[in-house]
Amino acid sequence: MARGVYIHIPFCHQICNYCDFNKFYFKNQPVDEYIEALGKEMALATKKHPNSFNQIETIFLGGGTPTALSPEQLERLLNLIRTYIPMHSVTEFTSEANPDELSEAKMRALYKGGVNRLSMGVQSFDQNLLKKIGRTHSNVHVYETIALAKEVGFQNISIDLMYGLPGQTMAQWTDSLEKAFALDLPHFSAYSLIVEPKTIFYNQYAKGKLNLPTEDLEAEMYDVLMQEMEAHGLQQYEISNFAQPGFASTHNKIYWENDEYAGFGAGAHGYLGGLRYSNHGPLKKYMDAVDAGELPIVHEHAVTDAEKREEQMFLGLRKTAGISHNIYEEKFKETMQMHYGPVIEKLVLDNLLEHDDVGIRLTRKGRFVGNEVFQQFLLED
């Protein structure tokens, strides 16, 4: 049974240099037709899986940029969501947003349509860095948009920050953190830059033209991040996420707890009925499929028991709380030690994992090399 719903809006007015998600320039795209196609896909999916949508806890509008849509398009999208997705158990409804696109009309359309959480892509408070990464907003946009969001009624507001950016200094990073804390928000996400294939940054990197900070400096930035978040009363509940009590993202926890969710839209991924699937990315292929009365799935994979165990480990260890022995045993009818005893013991000796009667979790040292720890739980067989 799905706990969450992800809906992909693949349109952007500006493409960021680091983004590898499925996206298209907004201009001259069939945006209205795409929104109607989303409604058709939701209708098809809820008909095919009638019992999978009875206890949806969260809905997440991602992209691309959902706020690239007009107020009228947002209203239509939200009406379609309410038509096909049972809302009685939804407690968190998030929309991603760009600070320079979230007008009052769009904000009110989102709020009226049931959205109660905003996740804003701020990334940096340094204007030169913003230009380098392809962002178009200014700090004034951030301040004005957040003030307006609070006035409209949004209390659950999160911003994304990035470190390890090309040419970024520690002074720029600490200045961004200081300005972020001054906003008095209940949630922050902070990610190190990953240079992904098929991005502008990847092309620059391949040509030796991307001036990235050293690994040591990036680690220092992460260390400062954890210290400052704690000093400002924000609890680290996942490697890259920090929140005041009661404001941790429920939707992201679904991924980290390896539970099922539906993914709708071009290029979206989902996990339903033990099957991980991905949709057609090209708009025409996606829309042609749903117009023909078919789910737009291009790839489907039945997750094996071994893969479920692996995913439970490397996803669950992203959480600061780690993995509970009781939950693992309830899911798999066996202990973690049956498959991972020697691995856990070695990582504990290396001071990368903590292990007690409750479960296992990364140590502070382990958070710096999380990906290396996670790889230890990939079984050869």
Contacts 24+ apart (CB under 8 A), 360-369: 360/317, 360/322, 360/323, 360/336, 361/317, 361/319, 361/320, 361/321, 361/322, 361/323, 362/239, 362/317, 362/320, 362/322, 364/226, 367/222, 367/226, 367/239, 368/219, 368/222, 368/223
CA-to-CA separations, 20 to 10, 24, 193, 283, 377, in angstroms, rounded:
11, 11, 12, 16, 26
Distance (Å, whole) CA 2 – CA 40 = 19
Give tens-digit pLDDT for 294-346. Answer: 999 999 999 999 999 999 999 999 999 999 999 999 999 999 999 999 999 99
What is the total residue count of the chain?
381
The whole-number pLDDT of residue 378 equals: 86
Quick one: pLDDT band at residue 200, thresholds 50, 70, 90?
confident
* 361 pLDDT above the threshold of 80: yes
pLDDT digits (tens, 9 = 90+) for 136-155: 899 999 999 999 999 999 99
pLDDT in tens, 45-76: 999 998 999 999 999 999 989 999 999 999 99
- pLDDT given for residue 23 in this prediction: 75
Query: Tens of pLDDT along 97-124?
Result: 999 999 999 999 999 999 999 999 999 9
In this predicted structure, the answer to whether residue 379 has a pLDDT above a threshold of 70 is no
Percent of the chain with pLDDT over 70: 98
Q: Record the pTM.
A: 0.94
On average, the pLDDT of the chain sits at 94
Which tens digit of pLDDT belongs to each residue from 201-243? 878 878 888 889 999 999 999 999 999 999 999 999 999 999 9
Dist. CA 216–CA 226, nearest whole Å: 16
Digit-coded pLDDT (tens) for 247-301? 999 999 999 999 999 999 999 999 999 999 999 999 999 999 999 999 999 999 9
pLDDT for residue 18 is more than 80: no
In sequence order, what DSSP letters do the residues of 163-180 get, joined into one string? ES-TT--HHHHHHHHHHH
Domains of the chain: 4-256 (3.80.30.20), 322-375 (no CATH)
Q: Which long-range contacts (CB under 8 A, 24 or more apart) does 306-314 make?
A: 306/379, 306/381, 308/258, 308/332, 309/339, 309/379, 310/377, 310/378, 310/379, 311/258, 312/258, 313/340, 313/374, 313/377, 314/374, 314/375, 314/377, 314/378
292-296 CB contacts, 8 Å cutoff, 24+ apart: 293/44, 294/44, 295/41, 295/44, 295/45, 295/48, 296/41, 296/266
Q: Is the pLDDT of residue 183 over 60?
A: yes
Which pLDDT score, from 0 to 100, does residue 381 have? Answer: 46
